[in-house]
Amino acid sequence: MSKFHPLALLALACMTLPLRAESNVIISLTSVGDRIRAQNPDLAAARLRIQEALGRMNQSGRLANPELETAVEQSSGFREGKFEIGLSQRFPLTGRLQLEKDVSLTELKSSEAEVREVERQLTGQARAAVVKILATRQRRELLRHQSDVSQQFAGFLSEIAAKGEGSPLDAGQAKLEASSLALEIRQLNAGEAALLGELKPLLGMRPEEALAIGGTLPEPTPPPAGTDPSRRPDFQAAKLAALGAAQGVALEQSRRYDDVEGGIFAAAERTEDAPNGYDNEAIVGLRLKIPLPLRNKNEGAIQEAEARQQRKEMEAAALGRHIRLEADAAREEMRAWAEMIAEINATLLPLADEQCALAETTYRNGQGEIQAVLRSREKRLQLAAARLDALREFHLARIRHETALAKH
């Protein structure tokens, strides 16, 4: 039987352990945004918009290429001829080139804001999925605890029924309750698997990677009042779009006047001056072309640009109001859920625990019915589940609030 050298085993372990570590992705509610920024493929594709806008900015604001002109003339007998060569360049009469640069720079900033907006939406979706998964796990732990208690009680009833001191029907009712809780746990497992399937693409995970989510849902703490939409990337993009539209108006106004064309030329000419022979001449000159804005003053494009500016400004103002309303609604929802959780914790759950203990003690002493025990336990489970549902909805509203204000 062959033996492996200890160093070889150590090297093999060093090679395999990192591979296993890489196969698991561990995130929490606070770290999911970092994973989105680093690995989400949709966000990586959106970042290319910045490169596109950068290319447009680098191309804008440039003079047209100069033009080289040549002309050759010859008589039928090739005794006379003329050769001409010239270089011309078009120049704008207005500051159109700088305006084009300004518009393209605004578009670049807008593209950066649009990419941040994609990141905001993706992070909000992922954080909401994490909250639902954590709430599902806490709900499952609650059911497992309740199932353990029900199984213990069912075991007790089975023992006294076997001794003839209790009813087999009561023992069957307790077993049925425990089995029902086990079925709910399986349903929660299926729901968690579906949520993990929604979350993995957002995290840019490979199919062979496993996802582990740490942490629990903290107790509710409503945020302070105050709404500032200026941090929202889509609001920043809307303001930049309004600025770009205003710059577009100035750009269209500068296009009322076409470019001036100036150039220099040189010519050599040979002509016959009978009977004195041939004369050779060399000519150097300048050309200037000035367009006359008589028929086309770009009125339609200017009108369109002015209407676009008004529309963009109104859209930005409407988006600002929508952001404030969205954040205020989420904050009010958090306040309502937090009040419900506080009431359940302070009043309803202690009362339900007291009733459960009293009903079970009364039944064990032979002074009550099994239905009273089952009903008190069911009511206690409903209250605990309602508390978890309220905690989940609170954190979902908190994520909507933070996402609305771009605070993630």
Q: Which residues contact 184 (CB under 8 A, 6 or more apart)?
A: 143
Work out the pLDDT band at 50, boundaries 50, 70, 90. very high
Say which amino acid occupies 361: T
What pairs with residue 286 in β-bridges? 264
* Model pLDDT, residue 309: 95
pLDDT at residue 221 is higher than 70: yes
Considering only 203-207, 250-254, 273-277, which range has the smallest mean pLDDT?
273-277
Work out the pLDDT band at 53, boundaries 50, 70, 90. very high
Residue range 310-327: mean pLDDT, rounded: 95
* Model pLDDT, residue 373: 74
Work out the pLDDT band at 157, boundaries 50, 70, 90. low
β-pairing verdict for 210-213 and 277-289: unpaired
* Model pLDDT, residue 283: 87
- Token pair, residue 293, equals 């804005």
* Model pLDDT, residue 233: 95
How do residues 362-373 score in pLDDT, each as one tens digit? 877 777 777 777
* Model pLDDT, residue 223: 80
**CATH for the stretch 28-60+92-258+293-404:** 1.20.1600.10
How do residues 235-259 score in pLDDT, each as one tens digit? 999 999 999 999 999 999 998 988 8
Helical axes 370-404 vs 96-162, angle rounded to 10°: 170
Work out the pLDDT band at 328, boundaries 50, 70, 90. very high
Residue range 307-329: mean pLDDT, rounded: 95
Residue range 343-353: mean pLDDT, rounded: 90
* Model pLDDT, residue 10: 43
Domain assignments of the chain as residue spans, ordered by start: 28-60+92-258+293-404, 63-91+259-292
Considering only 44-53, 203-212, 299-308, which range has the smallest mean pLDDT?
203-212
> Could you tell me which residue, 180 or 338, shows the higher pLDDT?
338
* Model pLDDT, residue 164: 66
How do residues 7-20 score in pLDDT, each as one tens digit? 444 444 444 444 34
* Model pLDDT, residue 16: 41
Work out the pLDDT band at 70, boundaries 50, 70, 90. very high
* Model pLDDT, residue 322: 95
Residue range 278-290: mean pLDDT, rounded: 86
- Token pair, residue 241, equals 């779009």
Work out the pLDDT band at 35, boundaries 50, 70, 90. very high
Find out whether 311 and 249 touch, Cβ atoms under 8 Å. Answer: no
SS (H, E, C) the chain: CCCCCHHHHHHHHHHHHHHHHHCEEEECCCCHHHHHHHHCHHHHHHCHHHHHHHHHHHHCCCCCCCEEEEEEEECCCCCCEEEEEEEEEEECCCCHHHHHHHHHHHHHHHHHHHHHHHHHHHHHHHHHHHHHHHHHHHHHHHHHHHHHHHHHHHHHHHHHHHCCCCCHHHHHHHHHHHHHHHHHHHHHHHHHHHHHHHHHHHCCCCCCCEEEECCCCCCCCCCCCCCCHHHCHHHHHHHHHHHHHHHHHHHHHHCCCCCEEEEEEEEEEEEEECCCEEEEEEEEEEEEECCCCCCCCCHHHHHHHHHHHHHHHHHHHHHHHHHHHHHHHHHHHHHHHHHHHHHHHHHHHHHHHHHHHHHHHHHHCCCCCHHHHHHHHHHHHHHHHHHHHHHHHHHHHHHHHHHHCCCC
* Model pLDDT, residue 11: 45
* Model pLDDT, residue 171: 65
* Model pLDDT, residue 253: 92
Q: How confident is the prediction for the chain on average, in pLDDT?
A: 85
How do residues 224-233 score in pLDDT, each as one tens digit? 777 888 889 9
* Model pLDDT, residue 56: 92
Q: Which residues contact 305 (CB under 8 A, 6 or more apart)?
A: 245, 248, 249, 251, 252
In this structure, what are the phi and psi dihedrals at residue 15, rounded to the nearest 5 degrees? -75, -35
Work out the pLDDT band at 110, boundaries 50, 70, 90. very high
Q: pTM to 2 decimals? A: 0.80
